């Protein structure tokens, strides 16, 4: 029993996977086992989008208290519209359109951090202000008729291999790569060090400003990538398609076991948390609950996780 307790303490992200499995079992028990495989396949597909934005948000939050990116929904809307317009339904334009979207993500990240660094305003205010500008650009740029993605791109975003979405497989590889970046590279170690104590990291030779700049760029690039993939999955871009990803990008990070105080991250937990959130919504829909109840439950869960993490940290300091 003590060994099991130590294992869960060392790997808190396991709880999110356990919660996801319990929610899945509760749902299929209510439906009598009907659609269990389809539900799991859909959960993997939709969760991939949560994980993409969660990866960028995780790096930002890990750099310390107060660091957060609230421009993600507007970024998704703008880059989704940009990607679909540049592809123009032509498979031959997929690669240059994706490159342009990633460049746009870099530019958005630079703009976000520029507001933080040059104007000396808190990240929450800077990125929220940036989101209004990005949303206005998305409205102006995406005002035309909805453009469908090229069939090849649509097939990648919606296709499955043995029931597992292509997108989920690709994002799993991306998640593994970012876990290596965080744990094994110099950049990742500085991200963790800055989150634990920015002043100590600076005295040790860390370029705090540069590292934080890189994290905001990374978050914006992942949000831009999510935008174009989500547009491909949905059959076209829309101005409202990024709205739910503001809460989701924060929820998957917190529920996945990453400390909101910074300096401690759990990349694998993003998948467990994303699956849990999607399956929770599916369960509530199956039970006939309203959208308001869904949002209340999600908010209560996030608050409970934050309280649990804070209690564990205070207990460790004693």
pLDDT value of position 4: 46
Domains of the chain: 39-308 (1.10.3470)
pLDDT value of position 241: 87
Please enumerate in sequence order all residues whose Cβ is within 8 A of that of 254, keeping only pairs 6 or more positions apart, or say none: 260, 273, 302, 305, 306, 309
Phi–psi pair at 249, nearest 5 degrees:
-65, -30
Query: Which alpha helices (DSSP H) does 120-268 contain, by range?
Result: 123-141, 151-158, 166-184, 186-196, 198-203, 208-234, 245-255
Q: How far apart are the first and last CA of the chain?
A: 23
Q: What is the pLDDT of residues 48-96, one digit of tens each?
A: 999 999 999 999 999 988 899 999 999 999 999 999 999 988 888 999 9
pTM exceeds 0.75, yes or no: yes
Extract the tokens encoding 93: 């334009």
State the pLDDT confidence band at 103, using cuts at 50, 70 and 90.
very high
Residue carrying structure tokens 């547009």: 231
Q: What is the pLDDT of residues 143-170, one digit of tens each?
A: 655 788 999 999 999 999 888 899 999 9
Residue carrying structure tokens 């709880």: 15
Query: Is residue 47's pLDDT more than 80?
Result: yes
Q: What is the pLDDT of residues 185-216, one digit of tens each?
A: 999 999 999 988 888 888 888 888 899 999 99
Q: What is the pLDDT of residues 249-301, one digit of tens each?
A: 888 898 888 877 777 888 888 998 899 888 888 887 777 777 777 778 767 77
């Amino acid at each position: 029993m003590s060994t099991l307790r130590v294992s869960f303490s060392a790997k808190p992200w396991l709880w999110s996977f356990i919660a996801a499995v319990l929610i899945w079992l509760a749902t299929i028990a209510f439906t009598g086992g009907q659609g269990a495989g389809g539900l799991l396949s859909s959960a993997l597909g939709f969760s991939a989008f949560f994980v993409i934005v969660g990866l960028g948000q995780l790096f930002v939050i890990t750099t310390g208290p107060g660091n957060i990116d609230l421009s993600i929904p507007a970024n998704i809307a703008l880059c989704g519209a940009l990607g679909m317009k540049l592809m123009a339904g032509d498979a031959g334009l997929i690669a240059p359109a994706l490159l342009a979207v990633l460049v746009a993500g870099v530019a958005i990240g630079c703009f976000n951090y520029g507001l933080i660094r040059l104007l000396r305003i808190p990240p929450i205010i800077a990125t929220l202000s940036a989101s209004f500008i990005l949303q206005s650009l998305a409205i102006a740029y995406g005002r035309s008729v909805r453009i469908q993605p090229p069939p090849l791109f649509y097939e990648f975003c919606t296709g499955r291999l043995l029931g597992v979405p292509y997108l989920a497989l690709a994002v799993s590889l991306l998640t593994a790569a970012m876990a290596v970046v965080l744990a094994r590279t110099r950049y990742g170690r500085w991200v963790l060090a800055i989150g634990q104590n920015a002043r100590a990291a600076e005295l040790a030779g860390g370029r705090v400003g540069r590292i934080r700049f890189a994290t905001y760029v990374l978050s914006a690039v992942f949000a831009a990538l999510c935008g174009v993939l989500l547009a491909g999955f949905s059959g076209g871009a829309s101005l409202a398609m990024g709205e739910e990803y503001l809460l989701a990008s924060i929820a998957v990070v917190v529920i996945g076991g990453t400390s909101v105080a910074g300096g401690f991250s759990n990349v694998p937990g993003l998948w467990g948390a994303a699956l849990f959130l999607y399956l929770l919504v599916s369960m509530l829909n199956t039970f006939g609950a309203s959208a308001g109840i869904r949002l209340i439950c999600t908010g209560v869960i996030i608050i409970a996780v934050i309280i649990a993490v804070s209690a564990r940290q205070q207990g460790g300091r004693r």
